[in-house]
Amino acid sequence: MEDTRRGTVTSLASLFPVEEAQKAANRVQDAIAEKRAELDHLLRFVADNNNLINLVHKLPEELSHEIMVPFGKAAFFPGRLIHTNEFLVLLGEGYYAERTSKQTAEILGRRGKALDSQVDSLEAMIKDLQAEANFFSQTITEAAEGLVEIREDYIEKDSHKEEIKSGPLKQHTSDLEKTEADNEEYARIVARMDELEKEELAAESGIDNEKDEQTTEDVGDISYQRPVGSKPHNSEDFHKSTPPVDQANNKSIATGSAEKHDNPDIADQLNFASLDLQSNVGEGKNAAAKKVKFVDHRKPLTHHEEKTVKATTASKSEVQHQPSQPSFNSHKAFTGSIVEHTENLKTLNGQSSSSTSSQVSGSRPSKPVSRFKMQRR
Amino acid sequence: MESLTQHKVQRYEEFVDRRLKPDLQHAIDERDKIFEQQKIFTDLRRNIENLEKNSITSLRTLVNLGSEVYLQAEVTNTQRIFVDVGLGFHVEFTWSEALNYIQKREERIAKKIDEYNQLIASIKAQIKLVLEGIRELLQLPAEKSLPERSF
- Could you say which of B67, B72, B82 has the minimum Cβ distance to residue A76? B82
pLDDT at residue B84, rounded to an integer: 87
Does the pTM surpass 0.80? The reply is no
Which residues 6-45 of chain B have a CB within 8 Å of chain A? 40-41, 43-44
User: What integer is the mean pLDDT of A51-77?
Assistant: 87
pLDDT at B47 over 70: yes
Average pLDDT, chain A: 64
Instruction: Establish whether this prediction's ipTM goes over 0.85.
Output: no
Task: Please tell me the distance from the alpha carbon of residue A91 to that of residue A74, in angstroms, as a whole number.
Answer: 27
- Could you say which of A74, A104, A111 has the minimum Cβ distance to residue B83? A74
If we measure between CA atoms, which residue out of A286, A316, A295 comes closest to residue A225? A286
DSSP state of A225: S
- Could you say which of A49, A75, A87 has the minimum Cβ distance to residue B83? A75
Please write the tens of the pLDDT for every residue from B55-73: 888 888 898 888 888 888 9
Subunit contact B74:A67, Cβ cutoff 8 A: no
pLDDT at A47 over 80: yes
pLDDT at residue B2, rounded to an integer: 72
Task: Please tell me the distance from the alpha carbon of residue A254 to that of residue A315, in angstroms, as a whole number.
Answer: 7
pLDDT at residue A242, rounded to an integer: 45
User: What integer is the mean pLDDT of A272-295?
Assistant: 42
User: What integer is the mean pLDDT of A124-150?
Assistant: 83
Q: Does B87 touch chain A (CB under 8 A)?
A: no
Subunit contact A69:B41, Cβ cutoff 8 A: no
By mean pLDDT, which of A13-22, A133-142, A276-285 is the weakest?
Answer: A276-285
pLDDT at A155 over 70: yes
Q: Of A196-200, A221-225, B86-90, give the range with the top mean pLDDT.
A: B86-90
Q: How sure is the predictor about A9, in pLDDT bands with cuts at 50, 70 and 90?
A: confident
Which residues have CB under 8 Å from A111's CB, separation 6+? Answer: A49, B67
Query: A71, A106, A108: which to substitute to probe chain B, counting the most B Cβ within 10 Å?
Result: A71
Task: Find, in chain A, the residue whose alpha carbon is nearest to that of B80.
Answer: A77
Task: Find, in chain B, the residue whose alpha carbon is nearest to that of A64.
Answer: B73
pLDDT at residue A269, rounded to an integer: 46
Task: Please tell me the distance from the alpha carbon of residue A242 to that of residue A321, in angstroms, as a whole number.
Answer: 10
Domain layout of chain B by residue ranges: 2-137
pLDDT at A340 over 80: no
CATH for B2-137, among 1.10.287.370, 3.10.20.30, 3.40.50.20, 3.30.70.100? Answer: 1.10.287.370
User: What are the residue ranges of helices labelled H in A12-153?
Assistant: 12-15, 18-58, 101-145
Helix, coil or strand: residue B23: helix
Tally C-beta pairs within 8 A across A and B: 98
Q: How sure is the predictor about A95, in pLDDT bands with cuts at 50, 70 and 90?
A: very high
Q: How sure is the predictor about A373, in pLDDT bands with cuts at 50, 70 and 90?
A: low
